[in-house]
Amino acid sequence: MANRSYLYSLSNRPTAYDDRPDTISGLSEWPYAVPFSFRVLLSGDPQLCPSLISDGFDDDPPEAKTALYAISGDFDAGFARLRRFAAAARTLGTTELNTTLDETEASSTSTGTSSCCSRRSSLTA
């Protein structure tokens, strides 16, 4: 199993592996580490929840599956914090950083991130 972080938008916070949300939208995947932006997005009411990627390891016997977890947070609160961080960084940033922040903000608003994503964002690693 590769070490990866995934960011999803979910229609509800799962309570078990079989508790599948009505809507699951994959937003991002990142190798090896949990990006800072994922951490900020999940900073609004973070809670441990069951992973939706797997219900245990492949070699686990069916009656003794290893519990795997994800972190779920409130999207609106996390996105507001990320926007405030970007605004603060903009005052200290270089032209290159500000251009990157402009592109990121334009991308998130043109794709409807702030309105199309559900109230739950879930990060699993």
Give residue-wise pLDDT tens across range 67-86: 888 899 998 899 899 889 98
d(CA 75, CA 23): 14
- N-terminal to C-terminal alpha carbon distance within the chain: 11
Instruction: Indicate the range of 75-79, 85-89, 99-103, 107-111 predicted with least confidence.
Output: 107-111
Whole-number pLDDT of residue 61 = 93
The pLDDT of residue 106 is above 80: no
How far apart CA 81 and CA 43 sit, in angstroms, is 8
As beta bridge partners, residue 72 has 47, 122
* Phi, psi torsion values for 11, nearest 5 degrees: -80, -15
Residue 25, token pair as written in the block: 């939208």
The pLDDT assigned to 111 comes to 41
Which contiguous run of DSSP H or E holds residue 7?
Answer: strand 4-10
Mean pLDDT, residues 48-69: 90
Phi-psi region of 36 (alpha: psi -120 to 50; beta: other; left: phi over 0): alpha
Residue-averaged pLDDT of the chain: 80
The answer, yes or no, to whether residue 33 has pLDDT greater than 70, is yes
How is residue 8 written in tokens? 């999803």
